[in-house]
Amino acid sequence: MAHYEMANLLSQRGLWLGVPVIIITAVVGTSVFASLPAQAISINAKLAVGVLSLIAAVFSSLQTFFKFSERAEKHKTYGARFGSVRRELEVLYADESGAHEKDYINMLRKKLDRLAEEAPHVPVKIFARVQKNLLYAGNSSNPTR
C-alpha cells in the first residue's frame, strides 16, 4: 500500500510540474509568434517572454531530473508484486488443513526478501501515514463504521 501511495504522490508531483511547463511554453511560443509582425516591442514584453522562457526551461529540467512518472510506475509495479505475495499468504493462511509446506513458506519469504531488496525506497513519512490509516481503518471501535 505504501508503494501505491508513493506512486500517487509522484504522479501528482509530475502533474504539478508538467502542467505549468506546458502552459508557460505555450505562452512563450504564442508571444514569440505574436511579436513577429510588431515593429516596436517594449523592453518589458521582451523581458517577460525571456523570464517565462527561462522558467519553462527550469521546470522542464526539473521534470526530467526527478523522473516523477518513471518513479511512480516503479512504485506501482512493486505495489502489485507485494500485493501478489500478500494474496499468496492470505490463501496459505486461509487453508485450515494445516498442510503448510515449509518449502512453500520459505519460498514466499525469499520472494518477499527479494522484493524488499529491489523495490524503490518509500519515505518513512509515507510508510507511517499508510500504517496509521490501516490501524485506524482496522479499529472496530471506529465511530465512522
Residue 69: its H or E element: helix 68-94
Domain ranges in the chain are 14-67, 70-138
Share the mean pLDDT of the chain: 84
The predicted model scores a pTM of: 0.66
Q: How many CB atoms are located within 10 Å of the residue 59 CB?
A: 20
Rounded CA gap, 75 and 10, in Å? Answer: 9
* Cell digits of residue 71: 518513479
Q: Is the pLDDT of residue 145 over 50?
A: no
Asked if residues 59 and 20 have their Cβ atoms less than 8 Å apart, the reply is yes
Residue positions counted in the chain: 145
Please tell me the predicted confidence (pLDDT) of residue 30.
Answer: 78
Considering only residues 63 and 144, tell me which one the structure prediction assigns the higher pLDDT. Answer: 63
Reply yes or no on whether the pLDDT at 142 is more than 80.
no
What are the grid coordinates assigned to 121, written together? 525506497
Reply yes or no on whether the pLDDT at 119 is more than 60: yes
**pLDDT, tens digit, 9 for 90 and up, residues 60-115:** 889 889 999 999 999 999 999 999 999 888 888 777 665 567 778 888 899 999 99
